[in-house]
Amino acid sequence: MPLVVTIVGATGHVGRPIAEALASRGIGVRAVARQPDRLRPLGERGVDVRAGQIDDVDFLAEAFRGADVAFVMIPPNYQAPDQRAYQRRAAQSLAHALKRAGVRRAVAMSSIGADLPEGTGPIAGLHVFEQILQGVPGLATVILRPAYFMENFLASIPLMKQAGINGSSARGDVAVPMVATRDIALVATEFLAQPIFERTSVRPLLGPEAHTLQGATSILGAAIGKPDLKYVQFSDAVFGTALLQAGVSASAADDVVEMNRALSDGRIERSQDREASIMAPTTLEQFAREIFAPAYGA
DSSP-derived secondary structure for 192-243: HHS----S-EEEEEE-S-EE-HHHHHHHHHHHTT-TT-EEEEPPHHHHHHHH
Q: What stretch of H or E contains 137?
A: none
Task: Tell whether 141 is covered by a domain.
Answer: yes
Task: Tell whether 128 is covered by a domain.
Answer: yes
Sequence letter at residue 162: Q
pTM: 0.95
Q: For the residues 144-149, what does the mean pLDDT come to?
A: 96
Residue 16 phi, psi dihedral angles, 5° rounding:
-60, -50
Task: Tell whether 246 is covered by a domain.
Answer: no
- Strands 176-179 and 210-211 turn out to be antiparallel
DSSP 8-state secondary structure symbol assigned to residue 106: E
Task: Tell whether 266 is covered by a domain.
Answer: no
Task: Tell whether 103 is covered by a domain.
Answer: yes
Task: Tell whether 235 is covered by a domain.
Answer: no
Q: Where are the alpha helices (DSSP H) in 30-163?
A: 36-44, 57-64, 83-101, 122-134, 157-163
Q: What is the mean pLDDT of the chain?
A: 96
Number of domains the chain contains: 1
Give me the pLDDT at residue 270, please: 75
State pLDDT tens for residues 17-56.
999 999 999 999 999 999 999 999 999 999 999 999 999 9
Question: How far apart (Å, rounded) are the C-alpha atoms in residues 147 and 93?
Answer: 25
Task: Tell whether 166 is covered by a domain.
Answer: no
Question: How far apart (Å, rounded) are the C-alpha atoms in residues 295 and 298?
Answer: 5
Does 154 score more than 70 pLDDT? yes
Which of 39-48, 217-226, 263-272 is the least confident region?
263-272
Who's near 39: CB < 8 A, 6+ residues apart?
10, 11, 31, 33, 49, 50, 51
The pLDDT confidence band at residue 274, using thresholds 50, 70 and 90, is: low
Supply the range of the domain harboring residue 126.
4-147+181-206
Task: Tell whether 96 is covered by a domain.
Answer: yes
Q: For the residues 215-219, what does the mean pLDDT come to?
A: 98
Q: For the residues 242-248, what does the mean pLDDT come to?
A: 95
The pLDDT confidence band at residue 275, using thresholds 50, 70 and 90, is: confident
Angle, in degrees to the nearest 10, between helices 250-264 and 236-245:
140
State pLDDT tens for residues 90-110.
999 999 999 999 999 999 999
CATH number, residue 12 = 3.40.50.720
The pLDDT confidence band at residue 290, using thresholds 50, 70 and 90, is: very high
